Amino acid sequence: MPIQIVRNDITKMECDAIVNAANPTLLGGGGVDGAIHKAAGSGLLRECRTLGGCNTGEAKITGAYKLPCRYVIHTVGPIWKNGCDREEEKLRSCYRNSLILAKEHDCETVAFPLISSGVYGYPKEEALYVAVSEISRFLLENEMTVYIVVYDKSAYRISKKLVRDIAEYIDEHYVETHQILRSAQFFNRPVEKCAKGSMSAPMESEASLNELVGQVDESFTQMLLRKIDEKGITDAQCYKKANVDRKLFSKIRNNINYKPRKATAIALAISLELDLAEASDLLQKAGYALSHSSKFDIIVEYFISKREYDIFTINEALFEFDQPLLG
């Protein structure tokens, strides 16, 4: 997964490089700057003293000393002035220049905090959007795994309506499953005899019998590649939108019987913008189903049923409900 959003303390990240949200003096401060200097020890400050400061939007690299990584990349984000001082452009250059430095030092994994979203006042949701879009742009041309380390949930502020809608959807479906399980136990009957209708979505597209028979032996990989062709997209467009690593996609493509992880299979179904029936069909070919006894699955089903396929929005919702992220 080329870009991952994780909740952690960046000083604990065991990457090739972590990025520090510094100030122009590079001599330490509060927030993530203070945490990194504290965890790295005095050697970091001694080296920073030799750098002669750093301009906003630029980046400089040092050793990592006692931190569990190889490098610290120091960058200075813009102070938020209500968007009147080219803040987005400066923030984007922080990510771009840090990534260029990481690449020049052969880093394969890099962790960013949400630059400028603390003391410097950049609205967190917007700061996260800029981070994801600028890092994604770099990853279109470069192979690297980038972590965005979100320290607190306030960075994600999906609309309260969306949270309410999803919570209602979970209650409606999640409770239903437990009622089914309880009635099955109570009446000692197989669950499928109690379920109201099938768990899987009704087939929206009534495929012809021949077509269905033709697909019965189709593997996950075969269906995936068929759908890529049908959608008229490239492999790269599919796996990048799914936030799936190129190497992993190659393994899937080159092994007709490959069985990916469930989150990967779901991410690919979403990148292909499959409807619920097709997504369930693709998942079944990897041995999975969207289960109503899993909040993760119900949230994914919510978005597919609403035909909302933006992985970033779905991950925001999964994050809000303390579920693992897609990709």
Q: Which of 5, 17, 22, 224 binds ligand APR (CB under 6 A)?
A: 22
Q: If binding is defined by CB under 6 A, does position 73 make contact with ligand APR?
A: no
Q: Are 255 and 247 in contact (CB under 8 A)?
A: no
Burial per residue of 43-73, b for 16 or more beta-carbon CB atoms within 10 angstroms, e otherwise: ebeebbeeeebbebbbbbbbebbebebbbbb
Longest dimension (CA), the chain: 76
C-alpha–C-alpha distance, residues 31 and 47, integer Å: 20
Quickly list H helices, 145-292.
160-187, 191-194, 209-216, 220-231, 235-241, 246-254, 262-271, 276-285
Q: How far is the CB of 69 from ligand APR (least distance, A)?
A: 13
Judge whether 310 counts as a catalytic residue. Answer: no
Counting residues that bind ligand APR (by CB under 6 A) gives 26
Q: Which of 6, 9, 133, 182 binds ligand APR (CB under 6 A)?
A: 9
Q: If binding is defined by CB under 6 A, does position 33 make contact with ligand APR?
A: yes
Q: Which of 112, 117, 120 is nearest to 96 (CA)?
A: 112
Q: Which of 9, 16, 33, 171 is catalytic?
A: 33
Which 153-182 residues touch ligand APR, going by CB under 6 A? Answer: 155
277 Cβ neighbours under 8 A, 6+ residues apart: 200, 201, 202, 203, 204, 205
State the CB neighbour count (10 A cutoff) for residue 208: 8
Distances (CA, A) of 207 to 45, 114, 221: 66, 47, 20
- Read off the tokens for 16: 């090739």
Q: How far is the CB of 227 from ligand APR (least distance, A)?
A: 38
C-alpha–C-alpha distance, residues 225 and 289, integer Å: 20
Q: How far is the CB of 18 from ligand APR (least distance, A)?
A: 9
Q: Which of 2, 57, 77, 260 binds ligand APR (CB under 6 A)?
A: 77
Q: Parallel, antiparallel, or unpaired for β 109-112 and 71-76?
A: unpaired
Q: How far is the CB of 221 from ligand APR (least distance, A)?
A: 38
- Dihedral (Cα; 218, 224, 228, 234), 10-degree rounding: -130
Q: How far is the CB of 324 from ligand APR (least distance, A)?
A: 19
State the CB neighbour count (10 A cutoff) for residue 277: 16
Q: Parallel, antiparallel, or unpaired for β 145-150 and 17-22?
A: unpaired
Nearest residue (CB) to ligand APR, 14 versus 168: 14
Nearest residue (CB) to ligand APR, 48 versus 299: 48
Q: If binding is defined by CB under 6 A, does position 270 make contact with ligand APR?
A: no
Q: Which of 29, 169, 218, 275 binds ligand APR (CB under 6 A)?
A: 29
Which 34-63 residues touch ligand APR, going by CB under 6 A? Answer: 34-35
Q: If binding is defined by CB under 6 A, does position 14 make contact with ligand APR?
A: no
Nearest residue (CB) to ligand APR, 32 versus 265: 32
What is the per-residue binding string for ligand APR in 110-149, x denoting contact by CB under 6 A? ---xxxxxxxx----------------------------x
Q: Which of 7, 86, 88, 151 binds ligand APR (CB under 6 A)?
A: 151
What is the per-residue binding string for ligand APR in 184-223, x denoting contact by CB under 6 A? ----------------------------------------
Q: Which of 30, 41, 68, 214 binds ligand APR (CB under 6 A)?
A: 30
C-alpha–C-alpha distance, residues 180 and 193, integer Å: 9
Q: If binding is defined by CB under 6 A, does position 23 make contact with ligand APR?
A: yes
Q: Which residues make up the interface to ligand APR (CB under 6 A)?
A: 9-11, 21-23, 29-35, 77, 113-120, 149, 151-152, 155
Active-site amino acid positions: 33
